[in-house]
Amino acid sequence: MKNQDILKKYLAHNDNVRVVICDVTNMVKEIRMIHNLSNTVTVALGRVIAITTIMSSLLDNKEDRLSIQISGNGPVGNIITCGNYNLEIKGYVSNPEIELKNVNGKYNVAELIGQGMLTVIKDIGLKEPYIGKCKLLTSQIAEDFAYYYLMSEQTPSIVSLGVNLDKFGNVLKASGYFIQPLPDCPSEIIDTLEKANKDIKSVTSMMMDLDNMLDVAKVITADNNVKEIYSKAPKLLCDCNDIRIKNAIISMGYKEAKNIIEENNGKIEIKCNFCNKVYSFNENDINSIFKNEGN
Ligand SMILES: [Zn+2]
């Protein structure tokens, strides 16, 4: 299917506020197929994919990348996503097929994830990656990231994330938006933003009603003069490759690799968690990998 996902950035209220809006419907459809996700996991991981895409678009440099880990005590286990400056996104969860009963007609994402921590790791070319951590507030994802921004950047950001499924569980819409007052933003503008967002029930229904993303930007900022400053198509893309997997085998060590070969009918199979691609190596492959290493 043609990828029609899109992410746009805007400035509002005379450049005092930045806004990011994304439609990641196709990515969520695709990741659901790759991992055979249950409905509830589709909603949970879909929300995380939306915020990962948004946060990736806020990276400053071509080489920058980030990773998000949501580790709760709920049945889904860990949720891991990665994104980079080019908006190439990947993700997986520990237990993709777990399904929970809906509560009041809503997917029970909070119980699926449980209580725990949210970790953001940013590799922005410094010696050490930047690591930000905070407790999960509601485990509904959007509130947790709003809290993360409040704690890590001391800004009252607004985060809204949504995944709509039809009654058969098909993904109708997956989207999100992020609003952040820039430094020295007057407090009246922050009040206006909060008022504008109080009555918005669901980002996905708004995205379905308003075909035009610019109209969405106007509604969520209560500013008719928002201006678009960036537009890019995000995509689901795994960057695993032969070299990376071979390096993983090298770091395992020759002895350990030989042991696995012996116990596993003459081959080592390594599956990429993100895209499920299986890399298979036989004894000759292993010998030549370590020969090239000079062992
Ligand atoms: Zn992969």
Ligand 1 centroid–CA 188 distance in Å is: 46
Residue 169 CA, ligand 1 centroid: distance in Å: 26
**Is a pLDDT exceeding 90 seen at residue 132?**
yes
* Residue 39 alpha carbon to ligand 1 centre in Å: 23
CA of 80 to the centre of ligand 1 (A): 13
How many angstroms is it from 105 CA to the middle of ligand 1?
35
In angstroms, what is the span from residue 250 Cα to ligand 1's centroid? Answer: 18
CB atoms within 10 A of CB 245: 20
pTM of the model: 0.93
More confident residue, 7 or 105: 7
CA of 276 to the centre of ligand 1 (A): 6
**Please, what are the domains in the chain?**
6-236 (3.55.30.10), 242-292 (3.90.1280.10)
Q: What is the mean pLDDT of residues 134-142?
A: 96
Task: State yes or no: pLDDT of 1 exceeds 60.
Answer: no
Q: What are the pLDDT digits (tens) for 261-287?
A: 999 989 999 999 999 999 999 999 999
Asked if the model's pLDDT at residue 179 lies above 80, the reply is yes
Please work out, in degrees rounded to the nearest 5, the angle formed at the alpha carbon of residue 193 by the alpha carbons of 212 and 151.
115
Least confident of 9-18, 58-67, 194-203: 194-203
295 Cα–ligand 1 center, Å: 28
pLDDT at 194: 94
> Tell me, what's the pLDDT at 294?
57
Distance 27 CA to ligand 1 centre (A): 15
Ligand 1 midpoint to CA 52 (Å): 17
Cα(262) to centroid of ligand 1, in Å? Answer: 26
Overall average pLDDT of the 141-153 stretch: 94
CA of 212 from ligand 1 middle (Å) equals 34
- Six-digit token pair at 205? 């229904």
Compute, in angstroms, the gap from residue 109 CA to the centroid of ligand 1.
26
Cα of 278 vs centre of ligand 1, distance in Å, is: 9
Average pLDDT value for the chain? 94
Question: pLDDT tens across 15-68, in order?
Answer: 999 999 999 999 999 999 999 999 999 999 999 999 999 999 999 999 999 999
Q: What is the mean pLDDT of residues 193-216?
A: 88
